[in-house]
Amino acid sequence: MKNNILLIQADQHRYDCLGSNSGGTLGALLQTPTLDQLARDGINFTHAFCPVPVCTPARTSLLTGLWPLQHGCIMNHDTEAGRSMFTGLPTFSDLLHTAGYYLGYVGKWGVDAQRGPTEFGFHDYVPERNYTTWRKAQNLPPKPSTNRWFGEIDSAITPDQTALAWGARETIQLLQKAASQDQPFFIRWDPSEPHLPNVVPEPYASMYAPQAIPPWSSFPDPLLNKPYIQQQQLRTWGLDGWTWEQWAPIVARYLGEITLLDHQVGRVLAALAELGLAENTVVIYTADHGDLCGGHGMIDKHFVMYDELVRVPLLIRWPNRIKAGSTSDAFVSSGLDLAMTFCALAEVKPPSTFGGSNLVAIADGAADASRPDIFTSYYGNQFGLYSQRMVRDRRWKYVWNATAEDELYDLATDPGEITNLANHADAAPELARLRLRLLAWMEQTQDRLLNWWIRRQLNENCKV
pLDDT tens string 393-412: 999 999 999 999 999 999 99
In this structure, the answer to whether residues 196 and 298 fall within a common structural domain is yes
Domain count for the chain: 2
Is 380 a domain residue? no
SS3 375: strand
In this structure, the answer to whether residues 249 and 172 fall within a common structural domain is yes
In this structure, the answer to whether residues 282 and 428 fall within a common structural domain is no
Domain-ending residue, one of 375, 404, 437: 375
SS3 374: strand
Full DSSP string of 134-195: HHHHTTPPPPP-TTTTS-EE-TT--GGGSHHHHHHHHHHHHHHHHHTSSS-EEEEEE--TTS
pLDDT tens string 385-398: 999 999 999 999 99
In this structure, the answer to whether residues 96 and 217 fall within a common structural domain is yes
| pLDDT for residue 148 | 86
| pLDDT for residue 350 | 97
Domain-ending residue, one of 375, 401, 419: 375
In this structure, the answer to whether residues 344 and 445 fall within a common structural domain is no
| Amino acid residing at 332 | V
Is 384 a domain residue? no
Own/partner pairs, 301-304, CB within 8 angstroms, 24+ separation? 301/12, 301/53, 301/54, 302/53, 302/54, 302/233, 302/378, 302/380, 302/381, 302/382, 302/383, 303/227, 303/229, 303/230, 303/233, 303/378, 303/380, 303/383, 303/386, 303/388, 304/230, 304/233
Is 382 a domain residue? no
pLDDT at 248 over 70: yes
Is 64 a domain residue? yes
Residues sharing a CB contact under 8 Å with residue 364, sequence separation 6 or more, in sequence order: none
pLDDT tens string 40-63: 999 999 999 999 999 999 999 999
If residue 386 lies in a helix (H) or strand (E), which one and from where to where? strand 384-392
Over pLDDT 70: what percentage of the chain? 99
First to last CA, the chain: 57
pLDDT tens string 398-454: 999 999 999 999 999 999 999 999 999 999 999 999 999 999 999 999 999 999 999
Point out which residues pair with 245 in neighbouring strands: none
Is 388 a domain residue? no
pLDDT tens string 182-214: 999 999 999 999 999 999 999 999 999 999 999
pLDDT tens string 254-310: 999 999 999 999 999 999 999 999 999 999 999 999 999 999 999 999 999 999 999
In this structure, the answer to whether residues 293 and 416 fall within a common structural domain is no
Point out which residues pair with 106 in neighbouring strands: 126, 189
In this structure, the answer to whether residues 278 and 193 fall within a common structural domain is yes
In this structure, the answer to whether residues 219 and 330 fall within a common structural domain is yes
d(CA 24, CA 203): 24
If residue 83 lies in a helix (H) or strand (E), which one and from where to where? none
In this structure, the answer to whether residues 94 and 231 fall within a common structural domain is yes
pLDDT at 166 over 90: yes
Give me the mean pLDDT over the 240-244 stretch: 97
Is 109 a domain residue? yes
Task: State which residues form the domain around 370.
Answer: 4-375
In this structure, the answer to whether residues 278 and 332 fall within a common structural domain is yes
Question: Are the C-beta atoms of 7 and 62 separated by less than 8 Å?
Answer: no
Question: Are the C-beta atoms of 250 and 294 separated by less than 8 Å?
Answer: yes
pTM: 0.98
Is 387 a domain residue? no
Domain-ending residue, one of 375, 402, 434: 375
d(CA 30, CA 40): 17
In this structure, the answer to whether residues 89 and 144 fall within a common structural domain is yes
Instruction: For residue 367, name the pLDDT band (cuts at 50, 70, 90).
Output: low
d(CA 155, CA 170): 23
| pLDDT for residue 174 | 98
Query: CATH no. for residue 418?
Result: 3.30.1120.10
d(CA 84, CA 112): 5
Query: CATH no. for residue 103?
Result: 3.40.720.10
In this structure, the answer to whether residues 370 and 408 fall within a common structural domain is no
Give me the mean pLDDT over the 62-84 stretch: 95
pLDDT tens string 118-152: 999 999 999 999 999 999 999 999 999 888 899 99
- State the angle between helix axes of 33-41 and 244-274 in degrees (0 to 180), rounded to the nearest 10: 60
Is 386 a domain residue? no
| pLDDT for residue 369 | 66
